[in-house]
Chain A
């Protein structure tokens, strides 16, 4: 019982932290860093709480399915958004240290040479 309560509160706290990060971070890429990882971990905690709470085969199976699906697809979705944002030249944070994709932009965007 205490374990289930701790998992529930932890999941809610991580989701709240993700929303605070999305409000507070300075540009798209850092916001995506907050918006992808923290809710995935919050969903993991909440589904663990649900599986422990219901303790039936159905609940455990659907919790495992959702967790595996989220952990497979969240990086793919955030990667596609960040790649498009980089190709659209969304302004970056002024404190940025390095941008490794700038060197590879010809590989990332094959139509760039044709346009310029």
Chain B
């Protein structure tokens, strides 16, 4: 059943490690960010990195269905970012 091409284990592990480090750095900016748009940018980046993580995990565990996570997060993150921007504009202008 599982006849996918084998990729080396260190490739998937190092990709997941890089993505986890990237999410940690983005969380640091989310906590530190001096202004509110900084935090929104960090949230947008975290959503994109979660999509990357889901895709990389789908490859490393040979499970096609995990690719759906990336599609759903892409839809929700766009709506969320535009909603944050509209909220800021309505509140402060």
List the interface of chain A (C-beta within 8 A of B).
Answer: 1, 4-5, 8-9, 11-13, 15-16, 18-20, 22-23, 28, 31-32, 35-36, 39-40, 42-43, 46-47, 49-50, 53-54, 56, 58-59, 62-63, 65-66, 69-70, 73-74, 76-78, 80-85, 87-88, 90, 109, 111
A8 CB contact (under 8 Å) in B7, B25, B28: B7
Give B85 Cβ to nearest chain A Cβ, in Å. Answer: 4
* Contact present for B15 and A77 (CB under 8 Å): no
Q: List 23 A-B contacts (CB under 8 A).
A: A4-B7, A8-B11, A9-B14, A12-B52, A16-B19, A16-B22, A18-B49, A20-B25, A22-B25, A31-B29, A39-B52, A47-B55, A53-B7, A59-B67, A66-B51, A66-B70, A83-B85, A84-B85, A85-B37, A88-B36, A88-B88, A88-B92, A111-B93
Total contacts A-B at CB 8 Å: 174
Measured between beta carbons, the chain A residues less than 8 angstroms from B86 are: 80
Interface of B with A (CB < 8 Å)? 4-8, 11-12, 14-16, 18-19, 21-23, 25-26, 28-29, 35-38, 40-42, 44-45, 48-49, 51-52, 55-56, 58-59, 64, 67-68, 70-71, 74-75, 77-78, 81-82, 84-86, 88-89, 92-93
What is the predominant secondary structure among interface residues of chain A facing chain B? Answer: helix
Nearest chain A residue, comparing its CB with the CB of B71: A66
